[in-house]
Amino acid sequence: MADPLSRVFSALADPTRRDIVARLAVGDATVNELAAPYDVTVQAVSKHLRVLEDAGLVSRSREAQRRPVHLEAEVFDLMTKWIERYRRQAEERYRRLDDVLRAMPDADPPSPEGPTP
Amino acid sequence: MADPLSRVFSALADPTRRDIVARLAVGDATVNELAAPYDVTVQAVSKHLRVLEDAGLVSRSREAQRRPVHLEAEVFDLMTKWIERYRRQAEERYRRLDDVLRAMPDADPPSPEGPTP
DNA sequence: CGCTTGTTCAACCGTCGGGTTGACAACATC
DNA sequence: GATGTTGTCAACCCGACGGTTGAACAAGCG
């Protein structure tokens, strides 16, 4: 799973990881602090952070034996851009279809419904 | 994995599924049409569509023996809202931190770095 | 009716993801 | 140097996922 988009979407597909992101939006935190609210081991949270880091959503710096985790919000744009593109395209298509329906000459198109009976 | 957000993110974590969404943004299509560009079986694509449908990203109607697939773009909002929330929050935090740093009195805070030596 | 087309269901296989436990590295403090 | 704190690495378990094959169901058409 090499492509960045898959990594980001996949990273945020887990509720615990989304929770961690939510918490990090408030401020940086250490692994132990992040693990505290959950009933999983610290190792599990460390794994989650690795996934988030690989996705570019999070960065870890060294500060003595602590490793404060920091949210990197820029990667979000990758997703929003992708989403917006296809949302826009779908809406555009809808609009165009509407136009076609409006400008429809009353010839009988291959519509299976009611071809002007 | 009950929550809708996880389902949507998870659904879009697969490149094939994102591709299918991209194709459906252009217009509705049948399973066979969707499967054509890929070298996987039709059944595999059908499974992908089931995932997309469970996530609310796609709907299938019946039209004779065909089952045209239609993109439901509204669910995108779920994601964008989530993303925007935390992006905004992170930016807000950044801005506030900046203010704090700017308005910093030259007392010595518990910073482990250089406490104004 | 029998046949073809389009799609799904069921069973199976290999891999990945989230979780655990246990050991270990790095640093701080006594 | 011994001890404790913080975090990662490694091995393992189990359930979910993406894929396949083979059969079944549904709807039109000879």
A82-116 residue pLDDT tens: 999 999 888 887 777 677 666 655 444 443 333 33
Q: Is the pLDDT of residue B105 over 60?
A: no
Q: Which of A41, A39, A34 is nearest to A18 (CA)?
A: A34
pLDDT score recorded for residue A97: 67
pLDDT score recorded for residue A95: 78
CATH topology of domain A4-73: Arc Repressor Mutant, subunit A (1.10.10)
Residue-averaged pLDDT of chain B: 85
CA–C1' A75–C15 (A): 28
CA–C1' B67–D21 (A): 23
B91 touches strand D (CB under 7 A): no
Low-confidence ranges of chain A (pLDDT < 70): 97, 100-117
Mean pLDDT of B63-69: 87
> Cα(A81)–Cα(A114) distance, rounded to whole angstroms?
40
Mean pLDDT of B30-37: 94
A44 touches strand C (CB under 7 A): yes
Distances (CA, A) of B64 to A114, A115, B24, B72, B115: 15, 17, 20, 22, 77
Using a CB–CB cutoff of 8 Å, tell me whether A98 touches chain B: no
Q: Which of B21, B98, B101, B93 is nearest to B53 (CA)?
A: B21
Query: What percent of chain A shows pLDDT beyond 90?
Result: 65
pLDDT score recorded for residue B63: 82
Q: Note whether A90 contacts B83, CB cutoff 8 Å.
A: no
pLDDT score recorded for residue A103: 67
Mean pLDDT of B95-111: 58
Which of A87, A88, A95, A96 is the best residue to mutate to test the B interface, defined by the most B CB atoms within 10 Å of its own CB? Answer: A87
Task: Kindly list the domain boundaries of chain B, sorted by start residue.
Answer: 4-73
